[in-house]
């Protein structure tokens, strides 16, 4: 029997096993906030008084980028010639 869980405002972090540079996150994972999924990156930092803490960044998970190119058009009929550049 499969149960549905409400994962809103929940997530998980894991040690970044693929870290090769100092600026890459020490921990990575994901979470769900208001029904949207995010990638989570975390670094261990130390405050001025010596207390360790996590500095975290959240990046929205997006649909995979497709290789198709979308054409962009613009309306050039309303050109303002008074602009000096």
40 DSSP β-pair partners: 29, 58
DSSP tag of 64: P
- Judge whether residue 52 has pLDDT over 80: yes
How many other C-beta atoms can be found within 10 angstroms of the C-beta atom of residue 40?
19
Q: Report the pLDDT value the prediction gives residue 65, as an integer from 0 to 100.
A: 54
How confident is the model over 5-15, as pLDDT tens digits? 888 999 999 99
Cα–Cα distance measured from residue 32 to residue 38, given in angstroms and rounded to the nearest whole number: 6
Query: Where do the structural domains in the chain lie, given as residue ranges?
Result: 10-60
Q: What is the b/e burial string over 59-68, where b = at least 16 CB atoms within 10 angstroms of the residue's CB?
A: eeeeeeeeee
- Judge whether residue 47 has pLDDT over 80: yes
How confident is the model over 17-41, as pLDDT tens digits? 999 999 999 999 999 999 999 999 9
């Amino acid at each position: 029997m499969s149960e549905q869980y409400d994962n809103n405002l929940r997530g998980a972090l894991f040690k970044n096993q693929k870290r090769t540079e100092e600026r890459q996150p020490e921990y990575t994972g994901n979470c769900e906030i208001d029904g949207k999924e995010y990638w989570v990156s975390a670094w261990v930092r130390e405050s001025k008084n010596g207390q360790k803490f996590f500095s975290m960044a959240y990046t929205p998970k997006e649909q995979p980028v497709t290789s198709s190119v979308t054409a962009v058009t613009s309306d050039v009929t309303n050109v303002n010639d008074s602009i000096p550049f």
